[in-house]
Structures are given as structure tokens and as C-alpha cells.
Amino acid sequence: MRIIALSDHQAVSRLIDRRQETDPAIARRVGRIVATVRRSGDSALLRYARRFDQLQAPAEVDRDEMQAGLRAIDPALRTALRTSAKHIRRIARRQVPRGWRAQVVPGVKVEQRVSPLHRVGCYVPAGRYPLPSSLLMTAIPAQVAGVAETIVVCPRPDPTVLAAAAIVNVTRLFRLGGAQAIAALAYGTETVPKVDKIVGPGNRFVAAAKALVASDCGVDFYAGPTEIVIVATGGNPAWIAADLIAQAEHDPDARAMVLTTQPSLAERITEQVQAQMPATGPARQSLRQHGVIVVTTTVDEAIALANQIAPEHLVCDREDVARAATRAGTVLVGPYGAQAAGDYATGSNHVLPTGGAARFRGGLSAADFVHVHSVQRLTKAGLKNLAPTILPVADAEGLTGHAESVRVRLRSGRVERAAAV
């Protein structure tokens, strides 16, 4: 890992500027796949699935196979997945927005109405490792929000993913992945139903496809390389190094950063990373290319830089840092706040914004699976009460039709039956 000073403005600038630009070649390829699946449906979808994912079995997984996966896994893992699901469900219940009604003035009431989406698509990757936890993290909040149908796609669901699908009781599970699966979910085919929203992480092709279909189908966010920032004013360097390696093992492009006021701690962390580093694998490549420790003069400088980076995961050793760190996908506090706990067991969602998107949103939650809209109710008296507000603004904007639509009602001597407010 490199150690740099905060005064190295060029290096620090690169940490902050993590623009996630799609490779034009990937964008063109994904565009062709999406357009073809949209136009030709199942025939194109299955052709791509056989070509890219070597699909041989039926595209849809039946419930007997899900239950077989559940029986096949180790009992300890089965218990762990069920416990994780219980914790995710417990947190998700607290996240669903609530409806309300408010009187603005006499005769005018506004209601917030919260309705679940009807059908959502959950993407579960199958790259280097099986990810049953991603199925739990995407399907459970949707179900808690009241979504009627959870459609899961995974290019190669192994027994652990099948077990997670059985535990959650997903509506349907397909052996499909890549841009072709995203297109099928967004537009529907003869086999795969069209969904209202697509959630879940994926590779560059999946991310590009989600960006492409976003004007026609809801998506959660653009997922780039995973990230961790650790703000360390002290702490055990071996533990900090272990957290960096844990995050880096996801992807050779993963970003692992430490911000500290202690130059000696920076040196000890670097030594521990070298001592614990795997001989091969993505963690080694990630930390060599993207691992960095920034030495700041003050804790406030470290916090300010962390907020500028707006990382996916922020780990810190002090409560005051956690309170001041307002731009992160999730914050883990204290020496025992291992990022892996959030990935699997705390119930907080691990589908999180990357690439600085934590500036404007947090992680996936049950709130992502509802439609929130307003209902406005006015009586004649209520409209009359609002007229002194409506008419001058409408006239000032030159929208005389707007003003007249109010005046015509107020001039009328006829009394219309008012809706109950």
C-alpha cells in the first residue's frame, strides 16, 4: 500500500474523482444485446445464455430444486442464512415509509400514500464466488415492503443460492445473467416477466445494461468497484489490515483506503498488510494498485476527506467521527465493527452506493420498493382560501389559464358536491 500526505493534492484528487465511465466498447455490445432481447424475447435471451453462461439446464429453477439446494448445504450454513434473513427482515420493517394526512388550511388536505411495487427483479452475481447473501439482501426488503412478486436471476445458482431462494420463498428463479437478464427483466419475454424495478450488484456488463434500461424500468444505482475507507485515530494495525484485505478480495479494482493522523500507525498497517496479504488473488492486485493510506494533520481533515470521497463503507474508531461522517453508504463504528458483520449478519443492507454516489443516497432499503405519491383534497372553501396564493403567482408567470381554472370555480354560484375531507 502507498502512504501519501494530504498535501499531495494530485494523489488525493484521484481518490476523490472516481468517475464511473462505461467503456464505449462495452456500451455498444450491451446496447446490441439489450435491443436484441427486447425485440426477439426468449429466442435471443436463451441464445445469449447458452453463449455467455453455458446454459444447458432449463432456464427456470423449480421449487423442488431450490428445496434440494437447501437440504444439500451444511446445517451450520443453513442456520446462518436463516438467521441473516431474520435480521435483514427486522431492519427492513423499520425502513418502510408511512402514509400520513395533513390539513394545510381549512378545506384543504394532503395525503401521502405509500403503495408497494408489484414485481421486482433481483440480480444475484455468480462470478468468483457464490453470493447467497446478495439474494437475501435484495429479495427480503422487497417482500417486507409488500412487493407481490420477487423475480431472481443468477447465471449459475449453486446450492447456497438455491438454499437462500428457498429460505426467502422467492416467486421465481432463473438461471440467467449478464446484460441479457437485465433486458429480460426490464422489457419482459415469453418466459421472464417484466418488472417494475431491478436491484442488485453485477459486473460491468450488468451495470451498463441497468444504466441503459433505466429510462424504461426502475433501477437501484450504478454499481462500480467496491470501496472501504477507514478513519483511524488509533487501533490495532493487524485488525485494520485484515479489514482492508477483506474488502479487496472482492475485486482487483476494489478501493481500500485508510485516513489517519498517525504516521507511525500508517507504517504499521502497511507492514501488517504485507504480512497478511494472500500470495495470489484479487486482494493482492487490488491493494497494490488501489490501496492507499493518507496521513492528515487533524481528525477534522480526515473526516472532511472521507466526506469528499463518499465511500461505500466507512469504518471508524470513534463516535464523534461517525457523527460527522455524513456521506457514506454505511458506517461501522468501533474496533469490533468489522465490515464483514454488515455484509452478513447485522441486518443492515450490503447493497450500497459506490463511486461517490453516497453523496446523495444510502444503501438499498425497503423504502426502495414502494411508490410514494400524494393525494390532494379541496372543498370550495378550501380553494377560496388558497386563491390569494394561487392567482398572483399564476398571473406573474403568464399562465392565465391556470388562474382562470380557479376563478371560474369561485365565480360559479352552483354548489358542487364536495368530496369528504
Write the secondary structure of 141-152 as one string of H (helix), E (strand) and C (coil). HHHHHCCCEEEE
Closest CA to 199 of 254, 147, 164: 147
CA 173, 176, 178, 182 torsion-angle sign: negative
Cβ(352)–Cβ(364) below 8 Å: yes
**What is the reported pLDDT for 10?**
86
The active-site residue out of 312, 371, 397, 404 is 312
pLDDT of residue 235: 92
Residue 20: what pLDDT? Answer: 63
Residue 3's contacts (CB-CB under 8 Å, 6 or more residues apart) are: 263, 266, 267, 270, 292, 293, 295
Amino acid at 333: V
3 three-state secondary structure? strand
- What DSSP string runs through 97-117? ---EEEEEETTEEEEEEEEE-
pLDDT recorded at residue 409? 95
Per DSSP, 130 falls in state B
Distance CA 345, CA 342 (A): 6
Whole-Å CA distances, 312 to 94, 154, 287, 347: 22, 23, 17, 16
Task: Exactly one of 250, 290, 313, 350 is catalytic; name it.
Answer: 313
Contact predicate 262/230, CB 8 Å: no
- Terminal-to-terminal C-alpha distance of the chain: 64
Which parts of the chain have pLDDT scores under 50? 418, 421
What's the pLDDT score for residue 65? 97
C-alpha to C-alpha distance for 218 and 6, rounded to whole angstroms: 39
Q: How many residues does the chain have?
A: 421
Dihedral (C-alpha) 275, 277, 280, 282: value to the nearest 10 degrees? -170
Q: pLDDT at position 53, please?
A: 92
Q: What is the predicted pLDDT for the residue at 413?
A: 62
Whether the Cβ atoms of residue 262 and residue 234 lie closer than 8 Å to each other: yes
190 tagged catalytic? no
pLDDT at residue 130 in the model = 87
| Cα gap 209→207, rounded to integer Å | 5
DSSP codes, 187-239? H--SSSPP-SEEE----HHHHHHHHHHTTTSEE-----S-EEEEEESS--HHH
C-alpha cell at 319: 463516535
At residue 246, the pLDDT reads: 94
Query: Domain map of the chain by residue range?
Result: 2-20+224-347, 24-221+367-371, 380-421
The beta strands (E) that lie in 233-312 are given as 255-260, 292-295
Cβ atoms 35, 185 nearer than 8 A: no
Rounded to 5 degrees, what angle do the CA atoms 301, 306, 312 make?
170
What's the CA gap between 92 and 104, in Å, rounded?
Answer: 31
- The Cα–Cα gap between 329 and 201 comes to 14
Cell of 355: 463511486
User: Which of 361, 366, 367 minimizes the C-alpha distance to 329?
Assistant: 361
> For the domain bounded by 2-20+224-347, which CATH number is listed?
3.40.50.1980
What's residue 264's pLDDT? 96
Burial of 165 (0-12, 13-18, 19+ CB in 10 A): buried
Residue 151 φ then ψ, to 5°: -105, 120
Please indicate whether residue 9 is annotated as part of the active site.
Answer: no
Choose which CATH entry (3.40.50.1980, 3.90.550.10, 3.30.830.10, 2.60.420.10) describes domain 24-221+367-371.
3.40.50.1980
Residue 417's pLDDT is: 59
Running DSSP on this structure, what letter comes out for residue 363? S
Same fold, 2-20+224-347 and 24-221+367-371: yes
